[in-house]
Amino acid sequence: MVSKEDIKGLLNSHLTRLLLVAEVALPPNQFQAFRKVALDEFGNSGFGKDLDRLLGNNTARHGTGRNTLRKEGGAS
């Protein structure tokens, strides 16, 4: 089975190459802006969240579930 770390490792190798090409092609101030956007989009706040949702690794919990009210003494 493919893990989240495997996918992120492959993505990071491609992202590194993309950033290298952008650094050569863009002026320094534009490269810094591009780098920030690319890292945000493909890092934990962008692609990482989507990957967690896709793989069902949702660690954020919204409440503890539904409270079940029962009568004392068992079901009746």
pTM (2 decimals)? 0.66
Determine what percent of the chain is predicted with pLDDT higher than 90: 55
Cα separations in angstroms, 7 against 28, 52, 67, 69, 76: 30, 11, 38, 44, 52
| CA atoms in the 13 A half-sphere facing the CB of 73 | 1
Q: Once rounded to an integer, what is the mean pLDDT over residues 3-31?
A: 95
Helix ranges restricted to H, the chain: 4-25, 28-42, 47-55
What's the pLDDT tens digit per position in 22-52?
999 999 999 999 999 999 999 988 999 999 8
Q: What is the pLDDT of residue 12?
A: 93
Confidence grade of residue 2 (pLDDT, cut at 50, 70, 90): confident
Confidence grade of residue 1 (pLDDT, cut at 50, 70, 90): confident
Distance separating alpha carbons of residues 1 and 23, to the nearest angstrom: 35
Distance separating alpha carbons of residues 59 and 61, to the nearest angstrom: 6
